[in-house]
Amino acid sequence: MTSSDDKEKIELIARHVEEIIKLMGEDCEREGLVKTPVRAAKALYHLTSGYRSTSDEVVGQALFSHEGSQIVVVKDIEFYSMCEHHILPFFGKISIGYIPDGKIIGLSKVARLVNLYARRLQVQERLTAQLCTEISRLVGAKGVIVVCDAQHLCMKMRGVEKQDSSTATIDYVGAFAEDPALRAEFMKMIGA
């Protein structure tokens, strides 16, 4: 549900998008562009929705007692984000593993946390680290590991224009930082 504050922000963004389109030399009254500023504003607002929520709100009450202590893995969570340097999309998959210490998190909440941090102006390195830090904080896990593999349109569409490039990032804390065998087990579980 869109609040009146959200509607006002979308209208303001749309006015700025219209000015940008005009500065590029286009006619915003042209049939195909008449509604583009509003559509683009709504898209940008959605793609940055991660600024309007917190990880605690996303997770809510979805933390549960669990006595197990083996690795829990949620792999290949697709995400879409916007590069903060060029405001172009980057997208890919994230795999997250953690070792419970009395608590587990609802599986869908892991994917929602990915969306929360991906739907901000981002860099892949920070996205990976933020997820690692937040899962660790929320679950109180013995260890957390996050692997992100992504393709960046700022590399494909402009600049070096390298179509087959991808970027991989990894972050880990706790038991995963201390034990290379645990990292290797996680990597095997995700097929890396």
- Out of 18, 130, 132, 152, which one is annotated catalytic? 152
Question: Which tokens is 150 given?
Answer: 């992504």
* Widest Cα–Cα separation across the chain: 63
- Out of 11, 85, 125, 178, which one is annotated catalytic? 85
- Out of 26, 28, 66, 154, which one is annotated catalytic? 154
Cβ distance 69 to 100 under 8 Å? yes
- Out of 11, 84, 125, 178, which one is annotated catalytic? 84
- Out of 18, 122, 124, 134, which one is annotated catalytic? 124
The yes-or-no answer on residue 86 being catalytic is yes
The yes-or-no answer on residue 124 being catalytic is yes
Contacts of residue 102, defined as CB under 8 A and 6 or more positions apart, other chains included, come to 65, 66, 67, 140
Residue type, 62: A
Burial class (CB in 10 A: 0-12, 13-18, 19+), 88: middle
- Out of 26, 28, 66, 86, which one is annotated catalytic? 86
The yes-or-no answer on residue 85 being catalytic is yes
What's the chain's length in residues? 192
- Determine the Cα–Cα distance for residues 122 and 17; give it in Å rounded to an integer: 20
The yes-or-no answer on residue 66 being catalytic is no
Range 183-188 contact pairs with CB under 8 angstroms and sequence separation of 24 or more: 183/145, 185/71, 186/71, 186/73, 186/97, 186/145, 186/147, 187/147
Positions annotated as catalytic residues are: 83-86, 124, 152, 154
